[in-house]
Structure formats: structure tokens, C-alpha cells
Amino acid sequence: MTDKKVPPPPVLPPPFKVIDNFCLFHKGTIQGETYTCPKCKTKYCLECAKKAKLGGKLCIKCKQLVIA
């Protein structure tokens, strides 16, 4: 009898793709000009940031006021 211990397959979390130019407002790739949150440096589309400012929305990550 073979008593070879087969190592269990590694259970790794799926690799989280860090997309640098990902806008959390429209949940897609940043198009055109970029707005960077002054507090957390999260990047958004400038267009989305402007809309967020008008809509009184805050930075999704740090809740800093959008000052586009």
C-alpha cells in the first residue's frame, strides 16, 4: 500500500487585478482625463468626478469631497 501523502491543492484566493485606471464611479476604465482624490489618491474619470461633485457624492474610498 502506498501511503503517499498528496498535498492538497493550494487554495489561493483569485488574483485580484489591480487596475490602475479603474473608475469606481462608473465602474469601468477611466476615459479621457483623470481626477485624483487629494486624500487617498484614488483615480476617477474627470467627467465622473464632476458629476459626483454636482451630485454631492463623496470619494468612494475615503469619503473625501470631490473637488473636480
Contacts of 25 by beta carbon, 8 Å cutoff, 6+ apart: 44, 45, 48, 49, 51, 52, 57, 60
Positions in 38-57 near Zn ion (CB under 5 A):
39-40, 42, 45, 48
> In the complex, what is the shortest distance from the CB of residue 15 to Zn ion, in angstroms, rounded to a whole number?
24
> What x-and-dash track marks residues 5-44 binding Zn ion by CB under 5 A?
------------------x-xx----------x-xx-x--
Contact 66, 35 (CB under 8 A): yes
Q: How far apart are CA 21 and CA 33, in angstroms?
A: 11
Kindly list the residues in this chain that would bind Zn ion in the complex (CB under 5 A). 23, 25-26, 37, 39-40, 42, 45, 48, 59, 61-62, 64
